[in-house]
Amino acid sequence: MREMREQPIDPQAEQEIINSIQEVYYSNDSFDMVQHELEKLPPELNLQELEEYRDKLKRQQAAVSKKVADLILEKQPSYVKELERVTSLQTNLQLAAVICTNARRQLSISKEDFTEASLGLLANQRRRHLLTGLLKSLRTIKTLSGSYLRFLFLVCVSVLTFKHYSCISELNSKLQDTLEQIEEQLDVALSKTCKHFDVSHYTRVQLAYTLLEKTQTAMDQLHMHFTQAIHNTVFQVVLGYVELCAGNADTKFQKMQYKDLCTHITQDSYVPCLSDLCKALWEVMLSYHRTMQWHEEQDKEEAPPTTDTEEAAVDHSYVKKKLEHGLTRIWQEVQLKVKAYLLGTDMSNFKYDDFIVVLDVISRLMQVGEEFCGSKSELLQESIKRQSVNYFKNYHRTRLEELRMFLENETWELCPVKSNFNIAQLHEFKFMGQSRSPSVSPSRQVLSSQDQVLSSQDQEVLSLFQHFSQEGNPFERHIDNKDEETEDVLASNGYESDELEKCVYQDYDSDSDVPDELKQDYVDEQTGDVPLKSASRETLRSRKKSDYSLNKGSNAPILTNTTLNVIRLVGKYIQMMNILKPIAFDVIHCVSQLFDYYLYAVYTFFGRNDMYESSGPGLISSRLRTTLNRIQESLIQMESLGEGSASVHGGPGEDRKEKVPSPHLSQLVVLTASETLYGLAQRVVATESLVFLAEQFEFLQSHLDTMMPAAKKPFLQQFYSQTVSTASELRKPIYWVVAAKALDYEQMLLLMAGVKWDIREIMSQHNVYVDVLLKEFEEFNKRLGDVSRHVRVPLPVSNVLWEHCIRLANRTLVEGYGNVKKCSNEGRALMQLDFQQFLMKLEKLTDMRPIPDKDFVETYIKAYYLTENDMEQFIKNHREYSMKQLANLVNVCLGSHINKKARQKLLAAIDDIDRPKR
């Protein structure tokens, strides 16, 4: 082994030998390697194998021994150095033990000579100080024991300081219980002021809190009680209505959240519940308002005590800030509760009057909010606007459908009203005279109809909180609001004649087709009774037709039941808008649609006639045509549109929902009878009722303008300038249809065709066709008078009718003169004679001056005498004549003063004029 260890071995070979040693040899110290090797021997031993294995183990052992020896030699210097440090540490420890022994000996000497004597003196001094403090405490206890009842409130706090003394522990416990009971009772008393404020009660409560020195705590508790009072109040009010409508004592409602409870309010109980809700909330806010007033008066009357000036000032400042901050908090809580109530029900199907009451109540509540804390009530405005837009869209859609029904059942008979009728007399427009919009000056208006005990000046000065401070409630006014009398606007007879036998034009036996809602126009709208000033329906039926004529008629407005219905509807719309400004644009837009639809219906029923439109150039102005096209595209649901073409103007869904089918004229209205001048009476009533409606819109413009948001005012201006102002322009196309049929113009052409115009001598007698034409005008004048006995024909209407008829007659004359094949100078003179005779007799029939289109005829007759150059210039300048008329003028002149070459030149000039048209 020694030889093997001493033999030099390559380090790598040595490491491989060590690595070949089995892991079991490194396991632990108790490992029996001999036993391990013996167990590994095979059953049959082989000497040579055993010697080889033994040599292998010896090499491994030698390698391990050499490795260990090398490590020991390598670590030898470190071992020696560490041994030296241990020896040095032992020496230092022995020196420290000696030093400690000497120090203890010296401390023992110091203790005996100095410390014990000094500490004794200090202990005596401390004992003296404690006894002095005890004496002071005993004197305080003596004071407390002698004034238990007199200083009960103050002692409660003082005793707590000395509760560690066993001698007053019983007093401490008793006073603490008393203090807690007092605070509980005061808290209950404080909570009672939240609903019904009583000055004396609140004064005593505040005095008690002042004695307890808990003024600030009282303010914190007060605001908590107000918040709780709001919650409890609204919950109990809504719960009461829900349980009442449910009809049973189901306790599930009591466990609901307030927001969920609001969804169970029925439509019938919605308005009464809202009214009671606002009344209850008003009581809470009034109590808070009076609480603030109490503190403001106290600040003015009572100066703070001089001894506690700083502390009192802090309390006053805290109370003032807390109350001012509480205003916004209380109002915010009120808004949240009312908002939850408003949004808990879908109001889109409410009756109009019910919804107006809702708007009125919320409007009043917002006025209360502005007076309460200067709030603009954004939460209430947002929620009522959402409900209003939803309601109004549904309401307007229904009203448009009703308007279509009224128009389709309208027989265009006069609705008898007094001559001094104006829309301000209608109940729907009463609000305009009251100026009761909260948005105008809500902080200074007392709107209750039961407040007539106050002068108008007092009403302007007093706020709601001042006026209803002691009694009454601002949310009770709408109950009696509808008892106001509305002036009877219906005439006792159509033209207010002194003779009852002279009745209106209208036959009321046929009123079975009139909708029930319109029949109510003839009874008192508030009581349902027949007005005393107006005749009963039976009386109206029994009266005879009036012999009214143009010369002795009154100026009663011409309107129909449908017109009156539209006006009242506009009043309702504006009333809704007046109460709630945020939806002003939506309302005004819908108001414009009512007028649009009425105008479109009148034009569709009486003015649309393509055959006569084409023969009457300029009858419909470009502005009116643009307006009619706009209405048709935006409002009218055309029946001819299929699903495919509906997408051109928007989808068939939402867009069609906003549109209304085009109305159809009632079959009871006959427009083809010549004896009635082709329904002239109905045409006059329809057209003039539209003009009257436009006048009422003009009257309302300034009011609507004040309601309209600034950004949307151009819409209103455009509506008035392009739509309302065009109403009177419908007279031309509507009455043109009558004028085109009233006279037999074709007969005139036939008679003129039989006249010989190439005569050679001057005639002194006019032709027969002039007399026939004048007779037609006389017949027209007579029939116009007959119509005017039934319906007043205003001067502008008769002027338009006469103008149309005269224009058509003059154009017929030109057409007849243009058909002449041969004509001499004497023939042209005869034409002038005929026309002058016509003018002379016509001027006796009509007051129109000058006669329309007079120059149109005279210029054409005189053109026969023009030379070639003048004729060419005439053709270029007078585009109002047709090609046929101009060509005939040239052809007739051929041979007299125009040759064939000139004829070709002039005909070419006529063709050049016509070419751009083609």
- pLDDT number for residue 152: 55
Task: Note whether 809 and 743 are within 8 A (CB).
Answer: yes
Give the DSSP letter string of 800-858: HHHHHHHHHHHHHHHHHHHT-S---HHHHHHHHHHHHHHHHHHHHH---SSPTTHHHHH
Q: Give the Cα separation of 183 and 153 in Å (integer).
A: 11
Parts of the chain with a pLDDT under 50: 146-150, 306-307, 436-461, 478-486, 493-553, 612-617, 640-654
636's enclosing H/E stretch is strand 636-637
User: 169 Cβ partners below 8 Å, 6+ apart?
Assistant: 163
CA nearest to 744, candidates 713, 768, 780? 780
Query: Measured in Å, how far apart are the chain's first and last C-alpha atoms?
Result: 137
Express the helix, strand and coil content of the chain in percent, nearest 5 each. 70, 0, 25
User: 422 Cβ partners below 8 Å, 6+ apart?
Assistant: 699
Task: Note whether 543 and 437 are within 8 A (CB).
Answer: no
CA nearest to 544, candidates 606, 506, 502? 502
- Please tell me what DSSP assigns to residue 487: P
Radius of gyration of the chain (CA): 56
Within 10 angstroms of residue 727's Cβ, the number of other Cβ atoms is 25
Across 126-136, b (16+ Cβ under 10 Å) vs e yields eeeeeeeeeee
- Please tell me what DSSP assigns to residue 560: -
**3-state DSSP call for residue 617?**
coil
> To the nearest 10°, the Cα dihedral for 289, 295, 296, 298?
150
Task: Note whether 495 and 486 are within 8 A (CB).
Answer: no
660's enclosing H/E stretch is strand 660-661
Output the CA–CA distances (angstroms, integers) from residue 20 to 3, 64, 65, 786, in the order listed. 21, 11, 15, 142
Residues pairing with 898 in the sheet: 894
Tokens describing residue 122: 């200090």
CA nearest to 659, candidates 641, 638, 630? 638
CA nearest to 709, candidates 581, 590, 589? 581
Task: Note whether 828 and 864 are within 8 A (CB).
Answer: yes
- Please tell me what DSSP assigns to residue 208: H
Give the DSSP letter string of 742-795: HS-HHHHHHHHHTS----SS--SS--HHHHHHHHHHHHHHHHHHHHHHHS---H
**3-state DSSP call for residue 664?**
coil
Residue 386 CB-half CA count within 13 A: 12
**3-state DSSP call for residue 592?**
helix
637's enclosing H/E stretch is strand 636-637
CA nearest to 208, candidates 148, 153, 279, 157? 153
Three-state helix/strand/coil letters over 703-745: HHHHHCCHHHHHHHHHHHHHCHHHHHHHHHHHHHHHHHHHCCH
Alpha-helical regions (H) of 580-707: 584-602, 610-615, 622-634, 643-646, 654-657, 680-707
CA nearest to 513, candidates 409, 412, 415? 409
User: 173 Cβ partners below 8 Å, 6+ apart?
Assistant: none
Q: Give the Cα separation of 262 and 240 in Å (integer).
A: 11
> To the nearest 10°, the Cα dihedral for 899, 902, 904, 907?
-120
Three-state helix/strand/coil letters over 405-417: HHHHHCCCCCCCE
Q: Give the Cα separation of 350 and 274 in Å (integer).
A: 14
Task: Note whether 602 and 687 are within 8 A (CB).
Answer: yes
Tokens describing residue 688: 């003039």
Within 10 angstroms of residue 498's Cβ, the number of other Cβ atoms is 6
